[in-house]
C-alpha cells in the first residue's frame, strides 16, 4: 500500500512568528493559537479586529497577524463596543482578556454590553489570578488559594465566596452563547476551537453577544511545573467552574 503524509497539525496562518513572552506552559499560548486557527478556518482574517485587555494578554497584538487594538485595563469591552458600532456591519470584533481585568475593573462594562446584546465575541482567560501583575488575587481565585495579596490563602471573611461569572451571564436575554472549556486538556482544547468558531459565527449572523471562558493555568504564579499545575487546577476547580455549553441560540445557525 502506498502512503502519503498528511499534515494534521501545524502553525496557523494568522498566528505570528513573533516569539511569545508567555511563561512555559501558560494557557495564553494555547488560546492564542486556537483563536488563530478559528480565524483561519472561518477565513475571516481580513475582516476581524481583536481587542485585548491589560495583563499577560496585552501583547496579543504582536502574536496575531490580524488588526488588533490593545485596550486599557477595564476598558477592553467599551473599546470593542465602539469598534463594533463602527465596523460591526462588515467585520467581526472579538475581545480576549484575563479574568482579573474583565471581572474586576471591567465587570460593569461586561454586563452592560451583554445586556445590550452588543455584537461581540468575548473570550475570557480565567487562570484564577492576576498573572502579569505578579500573581495577585483575582475575582475567581479559589478559597484558600495563596496569591501575592492573600499569602495565607483567600478567605471568605475578607473576599467572600468566588462566583462563577460565566454562568451569571446566562439570565441575560441579550446573551446568545455562553460556554467554557479547559485550555489544558487535549480533548477540551479541541472543543475549544469549535467554541471560538461558533461564537464568531453567531456574531456574523448578528445573533448578539457571545461569551467563552477558558480555564487556564498560570504555572509561574502557582509556582508549579506545568504538568503539576494542570493536575492541581483540574481538581481544584472541579465542581466550581464546570466546562460546557451553557447557552446557545435556538435557531438559525448551521455550523
Gyration radius of the chain over CA positions:
18
Cβ atoms of 240 and 162 within 8 Å: the answer is yes
Quote the CA–CA distance of 240 and 226 in Å, as a whole number. Answer: 21
Nearer to other proteins by C-beta: 150 or 221?
Answer: 221
Give the shortest CB-212-to-ligand SF4 separation in angstroms: 18
Of residues 68, 143, 168, 237, which one binds other proteins by CB under 8 A?
68
In degrees and rounded to multiples of 5, residue 79 shows phi and psi of: -60, -45
Say how many C-beta atoms besides its own lie within 10 A of residue 226's C-beta: 18
Nearer to ligand SF4 by C-beta: 23 or 87?
Answer: 23
Give the shortest CB-226-to-other proteins separation in angstroms: 4
Size of the site for other proteins (CB under 8 A): 66
Binding site for ligand SF4 (CB under 6 A): 22-23, 26, 28, 56, 127, 131-132, 218-221
Q: Where in 40-59 is the site for other proteins (CB under 8 A)?
A: 49, 51, 58-59
Does 15 engage in binding with other proteins (CB under 8 A)?
Answer: yes
What residues contact 14, with CB distance under 8 A and at least 6 apart? 35, 36, 37, 39, 40, 45, 64, 65, 66
Buried b (16+ CB within 10 A) or exposed e, 133-171: bebbbbbbbbeebbbebbeeebeeeeeeebebbbbebee
Give the shortest CB-3-to-other proteins separation in angstroms: 4
Of residues 39, 75, 243, 246, which one binds other proteins by CB under 8 A?
75
Nearer to ligand SF4 by C-beta: 50 or 131?
Answer: 131
- For residue 82, how far is the Cα from the chain centroid? 20
Binding region for other proteins (CB under 8 A): 1-12, 15, 19-20, 22-30, 33, 49, 51, 58-59, 61-62, 64-72, 74-75, 77-87, 108-109, 112, 184-186, 189-190, 219, 225-227, 230
Amino acid at each position: 500500500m502506498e502512503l502519503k503524509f498528511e499534515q494534521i497539525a501545524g502553525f496557523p496562518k494568522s498566528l505570528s512568528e513573533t516569539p511569545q513572552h508567555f511563561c512555559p506552559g501558560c494557557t495564553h499560548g494555547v488560546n492564542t493559537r486556537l483563536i488563530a486557527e478559528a480565524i483561519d478556518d472561518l477565513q475571516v482574517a481580513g475582516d476581524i479586529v481583536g481587542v485585548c485587555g491589560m495583563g499577560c494578554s496585552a501583547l496579543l497584538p504582536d502574536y496575531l497577524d490580524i488588526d488588533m487594538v490593545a485596550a486599557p485595563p477595564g476598558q477592553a469591552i467599551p473599546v470593542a463596543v465602539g469598534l463594533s458600532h463602527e465596523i460591526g456591519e462588515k467585520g467581526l470584533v472579538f475581545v480576549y482578556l484575563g479574568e482579573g481585568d474583565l471581572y474586576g475593573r471591567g465587570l460593569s462594562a461586561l454586563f452592560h454590553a451583554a445586556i445590550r446584546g452588543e455584537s461581540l465575541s468575548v473570550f475570557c482567560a480565567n487562570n484564577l489570578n492576576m498573572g502579569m501583575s505578579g500573581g495577585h488575587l483575582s475575582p475567581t481565585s479559589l478559597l484558600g488559594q495563596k496569591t501575592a495579596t492573600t499569602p495565607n490563602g483567600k478567605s471568605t471573611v475578607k473576599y467572600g465566596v468566588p462566583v462563577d461569572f460565566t454562568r451569571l451571564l446566562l439570565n441575560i436575554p441579550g446573551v446568545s452563547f455562553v460556554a467554557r472549556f479547559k485550555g489544558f486538556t487535549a480533548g477540551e482544547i479541541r472543543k475549544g476551537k469549535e467554541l471560538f468558531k461558533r461564537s464568531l459565527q453567531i456574531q456574523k449572523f448578528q445573533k448578539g453577544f457571545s461569551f467563552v471562558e477558558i480555564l487556564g493555568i498560570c504555572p509561574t504564579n502557582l509556582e508549579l511545573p506545568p504538568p503539576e499545575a494542570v493536575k492541581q487546577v483540574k481538581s481544584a476547580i472541579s465542581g466550581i467552574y464546570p466546562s460546557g455549553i451553557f447557552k446557545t441560540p435556538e435557531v438559525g445557525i448551521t455550523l
